[in-house]
Amino acid sequence: MGESRDAGSDADPPDSVVDAVFDAVAATVPEIRAALPGRRVESGTENASGESVMAGDLYADELLGEAITAVSGVGSFVSEERETAVDAGGAVGDGGDAYAVAIDPLDGSSNLRSNNAMGTVVGIYDAPLPATGRDLVAAGYVLYGPITTMVVADESSVREEVVESDDDGTGVTRTIVDADLTLPAEPTVYGFGGRVPDWPDQFTDYAREVESELKLRYGGAMVGDVNQVLTYGGVFAYPALVDAPDGKLRLQFEANPIAYIVDRAGGAASDGDRDILDVEPGGIHDRVPLYVGNEALIERLEATLAG
């Protein structure tokens, strides 16, 4: 086990805005976990992407929104579950010294009903949103699995922490279990989203090759599936579909932060044609195909799609 510290304690002030944001996110973990059993149903509303929102999505969004906008140095906050950005005070980008934070509060929330893994995704941008992945200064995710872990990537490192509630219920303790998270050189697993009949032919060709080499591990939550790739090596994709050429996942909240993390861990991420981090966004809720994992597998994917 590595070093541990209490998140958000007054005695241990964060070194930076980035640290403070991840302290705030980690501090919500016990409340989010505790609230989920009663929130496994649809809320009856749709989000900006036209998807049905679960009660758990709304609760996580509310809690994380409050915690993150309270961080000094966060100037703007935007979530997959909100139409528009929240002004949190402080100018972001040129002339300003505040950051914009984008989150997917509960990634893979359709897994709530079946009690499978889910996550929270966080991107911290040094530019107003929508922005490119090159504007990220840090990104991370929480994985609500049998244990709760948080992976945090910034300029200097990618680390994995275990997040546990303190015995007295006053906060959480974060213990670094891997201070230098690196994608294994030898790939082992793959997981691809969408229905096979909806895949374009070139992607089906690629999938046929990959499935003859690697083992299928797909759980239906990007955070869980990418965490398997980071742990065992391999490739995750939510591809372009014949009737949805931009795929399903959102650039600001999902693809950019995951691309940043995997890139920093020694892997690569593509939209099928170029590095995800170079994709120019149109709007906050833009979707993008995502292919992410070991560099050789992503290069082969791009070559196969190019025909």
Total residues contacting ligand AHM (rule CB under 6 A)?
13
Q: Which of 236, 214, 216 is nearest to 226 (CA)?
A: 236
Residue 225 lies near Mg ion (rule: CB under 5 A): no
Distant-in-sequence, close-in-space partners of 232: CB < 8 Å, separation ≥ 6? 184, 187, 188, 189, 217
Taking residues 65 to 94 in sequence order and writing x for each that binds ligand AHM by CB under 6 A, - otherwise, the string is: ---------------x--------------
| 3 state DSSP class of 252 | helix
- In the complex with ligand AHM, the residue whose CB is nearer, 23 or 107, is 107
Query: Is 224 annotated as contributing to ligand binding?
Result: no
Residue 293 lies near ligand AHM (rule: CB under 6 A): no
CB atoms within 10 A of CB 94: 7
**Within positions 18 to 57, which residues make up the interface with ligand AHM, using CB under 6 A?**
51
- In the complex with ligand AHM, the residue whose CB is nearer, 43 or 110, is 110
DSSP codes of every residue in 25-88:
HHHHHHHHHHHGGG--SEEEEE-TTSPEEEHHHHHHHHHHHHHHHTSTTEEEEEETT-SS-EE-
List 8, 93, 108, 233, residue binding ligand AHM (CB under 6 A): 108
CB atoms within 10 A of CB 245: 12
- In the complex with ligand AHM, the residue whose CB is nearer, 22 or 253, is 253
Residue 140 lies near ligand AHM (rule: CB under 6 A): no
Residue 107 lies near Mg ion (rule: CB under 5 A): yes
CB atoms within 10 A of CB 49: 15
- Determine the Cα–Cα distance for residues 139 and 25; give it in Å rounded to an integer: 12
Using CB under 5 A, which of the segments 107-115, 132-140, 159-167, 228-236 binds Mg ion?
Answer: 107-115
List 199, 238, 260, 291, residue binding ligand AHM (CB under 6 A): 238
Dihedral sign of CA atoms 264, 301, 221, 249 in order:
positive
- Determine the Cα–Cα distance for residues 105 and 125; give it in Å rounded to an integer: 17
- In the complex with Mg ion, the residue whose CB is nearer, 107 or 161, is 107
187 exposure class (CB count in 10 Å sphere: 0-12, 13-18, 19+): buried
List 150, 221, 237, 258, residue binding ligand AHM (CB under 6 A): 221
Residue 141 lies near ligand AHM (rule: CB under 6 A): no
Residue 219 lies near ligand AHM (rule: CB under 6 A): no
Query: Is 80 annotated as contributing to ligand binding?
Result: yes
Residue 57 lies near Mg ion (rule: CB under 5 A): no
Alpha helix (H) ranges present in 70-188? 111-114
Sites of contact with Mg ion (CB under 5 A) = 104, 107, 254
Q: Which residues in this chain contact ligand AHM in the complex, by CB under 6 A?
A: 51, 80, 104, 107-110, 193, 220-222, 238, 248
Binding-site positions for Mg(2+) read: 80, 104, 106-107, 254
